[in-house]
Amino acid sequence: MNKTVATVVVTLSLFLLLVGSAKNGFVGAQANTITVPDDYAKIQWAIGNATEGDTVFVKSGTYNEFLVVNKSLSLVGENKEDTVINAQQNGPTILISQNSVTVTGFTVLNGETVATPTQYFPWGARPAGVHLLGASNCNISGNMIKNSGCGIWLYESDGNQVVRNQLIDNSNSMRLESSCDNIIEDNQLKNCFDGIILKSSGNSKLKNNTIVNANNQFGVSGHTLSDYMNMIDSSNTIDNKPIYYWTNTANKVVPSDAAYIGLVNCTNITVQNVNITKNNQAILLVHTEQSTITDNQLVNNKIGISLYSAANNIIINNNITASSSNGITVSESNNNNITQNRITNNKNAGISLDDSAAQNSISNNYLSKNYIGLTLNLASQNSIVGNQISETFMSILIYSGCDYNSIIANNMSNSDTAIWFENASPHSKGNNIIGNNMVSNAKFGILARYTSENKIQNNTIENSEKGIWISGETSINNIITGNNIKSHSKIGIDLTRTTAIIYHNNFVNNTQDIDAQSTSIWDNGSEGNYWSKYNGTDTNEDGIGDTSYIINENNQDKHPLMEPVDIATIPEFQSWVVLPLVLTATLVVAVYKKKISTTSNQSY
């Protein structure tokens, strides 16, 4: 290209860029143009010798270098097809740490793919093609970015424009972290792992972006409502299907062609009969209430359904499978009903309740082949009722500050541990009810560590190595009553460094009924437990043996029962706990059916 043509290209590019940058408050004053390779052989040398507001014009060619832009300037390529910046995996191809920078007209190649130390970045490279680090009012437009860890990565960078870029064959295409008020428009993203991911990046404006052939196509996360309040319309598509991201919306039905669904601060929305795959979360509910998610197929997402600060919603009859994290995640959300879903083959938990999730009802779900069937963490007053859980490492895990939960009438089989509950927090009260559950073919039936004042009652636990195992000096005042403890290959109940109150249980055909060093209580004052190994007599036929059943030198059942206990009739089990839960689940289903029949005639 001769000097006259170069001048025309630079002049036209500057005109277009200055018009586009006027909104951002940057207009160059007495700007100079530096041409590469005419004035400097390397682009970085030109940047180093530029002053604020200058333009570095780069002629066609391949430049094997990575760039650090720490001045407000314009970096303009002759054309993006053959003006190539190749970082050769030595760091981010272009790192921008100053405000009001423009980058346009380049092919950007081979930014670092992983955050490993290099000779130039001994603390660990920032893996990206174009990386904005604490930079605002920048314009990244008209570039082709390929083969990098992240195509475009904004970190703590606000008020930027990212438009008309092609991002191809990057590990992650576009990521915004703690970056607000950015415009993302008319970008094409292809052949990547992550498509567009927004993390704590509120008031983002996304329009006309296309994502094709990504494994984790789209996702939004944050910590406050404002992190989720974005303008993302249905002109954004994933494999030619629209993204529906609604804010402040009420009384609508989401169209069934959705590629991704986000509901933020919404009320009475119905999501039905959608088929969503390969997203960070398939369906997201944030500060959304009184909505129904039903009859959807959610396959191969990171999370199937995610609820954050959402209340009074119904999640029913969905098929959620092959998530790389959880099938359903419920965080800081109350009074939701999750019922009659089929949740299988998820890498972490089938259903996870955490971060102050309270008063939720999880009932009649089928959970199979998840790593953990259901987890509770910092979650209290939830009802886990009537679920079928099988072929997991743990069926139910309750840990860290979980109080007053009811785990009732679940059927758990073929797991390493059926129920594991552990409250290491000093603020935990315990008081969880584990009742009327069926546990079979587990290594450990119920395992409790460092947790107090829980009730384990009316369960049938059989064919495991250990039926019930309670350990830890702080595990006190736990009550074990009305349980069938049968056919365990090692121990029926193992009390390690702790004691318990144990009565009205049936110990049948266990290799060893009890392993306990400290002295526990084995009766309620008049009646103890039934032991299949007891061979004493009952001369007065009152149903209680005439002699104690000796467990070991520190423990004995002074009132052994002569016949097995019918645990269905044990008065200690609080049937008033179960009845409201059953009635609630029945009511939820009835309301759901009525709502679906009403909304099926609504327009989109």
Tens of pLDDT, residues 265-317: 999 999 999 999 999 999 999 999 999 999 999 999 999 999 999 999 999 99
Where does 423-578 show beta strands of DSSP type E? 433-435, 438-440, 444-449, 455-457, 460-462, 466-471, 479-481, 484-486, 491-496, 501-503, 506-508, 512-516, 530-531, 549-552, 555-557
Does 221 fall in a domain?
A: no
Q: From 391, 486, 397, select the one nearest 434 (Cα to Cα).
A: 397
pLDDT of residue 21: 42
Residue 27 pLDDT > 50, yes or no? Answer: no
| Same-domain check for residues 371 and 448 | yes
| Same-domain check for residues 164 and 76 | yes
Is 235 in a helix, a strand, or coil?
coil
pLDDT of residue 221: 97
pLDDT of residue 17: 45
pLDDT of residue 89: 86
| Same-domain check for residues 179 and 128 | yes
| Same-domain check for residues 195 and 244 | no
Residue 142 pLDDT > 70, yes or no? Answer: yes
| Same-domain check for residues 48 and 87 | yes
Residue 20 pLDDT > 90, yes or no? Answer: no
Tens of pLDDT, residues 99-124: 999 999 999 998 876 665 555 554 45
Does 232 fall in a domain?
A: no
Is 146 in a helix, a strand, or coil?
strand
Residue-by-residue DSSP string for 551-602: EETTEEESS-BSS---GGG-TTS-HHHHHHHHHHHHHHHHHHHHHHHHHTT-
Question: Please, what sign has the CA dihedral across residues 118, 121, 126, 131?
Answer: negative
H or E stretch covering 214: strand 210-221
* Average pLDDT in the chain: 90
Helix, strand, coil tally for the chain in percent (to 5): 10, 45, 45
Classify burial at 506, counting beta carbons within 10 Å of its beta carbon; exposed 0-12, middle 13-18, buried 19 or more.
buried
Measured between alpha carbons, how far is 248 from 265 in angstroms, rounded to an integer? 5
Instruction: Give residue 423's pLDDT band: very low, low, confident or very high (50, 70, 90).
Output: confident
Residue 580 pLDDT > 60, yes or no? Answer: no
| Same-domain check for residues 206 and 260 | no
Residue range 133-148: average pLDDT? 97
Measured between alpha carbons, how far is 375 from 510 in angstroms, rounded to an integer? 29
Does 597 fall in a domain?
A: no
Amino acid at 24: N
Q: From 195, 268, 207, 256, select the one nearest 233 (Cα to Cα).
A: 207
Does 231 fall in a domain?
A: no
| Same-domain check for residues 283 and 407 | yes
Residue 583 pLDDT > 60, yes or no? Answer: no
Lookup: tokens for 107: 């092919």
Residue range 140-168: average pLDDT? 97
Residue 578, domain extent = 239-591
pTM: 0.89
pLDDT of residue 7: 41
The CATH number assigned to the domain holding 67 equals 2.160.20.10
Cis preceding-peptide flag for 560 (omega within 30 of 0): no
Residue 223 pLDDT > 50, yes or no? Answer: yes
Residue range 247-271: average pLDDT? 99
Does 604 fall in a domain?
A: no
Residue 8 pLDDT > 60, yes or no? Answer: no
* Measured distance between the N- and C-terminal CA atoms of the chain, rounded to whole angstroms: 55
pLDDT of residue 110: 86
Does 456 fall in a domain?
A: yes
| Same-domain check for residues 321 and 462 | yes
| Same-domain check for residues 471 and 365 | yes
pLDDT of residue 573: 45
Does 355 fall in a domain?
A: yes
Residue range 326-353: average pLDDT? 98
pLDDT of residue 118: 55
CB burial of 318-343 (b: ≥16 within 10 Å; e: otherwise) equals bbbbbbebbbbbbbbbbebbbbbbbb
| Same-domain check for residues 482 and 528 | yes
Measured between alpha carbons, how far is 360 from 553 in angstroms, rounded to an integer? 45
Instruction: Give residue 554's pLDDT band: very low, low, confident or very high (50, 70, 90).
Output: very high
| Same-domain check for residues 209 and 249 | no
How many structural domains does the chain have? 2
Phi, psi of 365 (to 5 degrees): -95, 155
Does 596 fall in a domain?
A: no
Residue range 548-575: average pLDDT? 85
| Same-domain check for residues 259 and 199 | no
- Strand 455-457 to strand 479-481: parallel, antiparallel, or no bridges (unpaired)? parallel
Q: From 287, 269, 277, select the one nearest 226 (Cα to Cα).
A: 287
Instruction: Give residue 10's pLDDT band: very low, low, confident or very high (50, 70, 90).
Output: very low
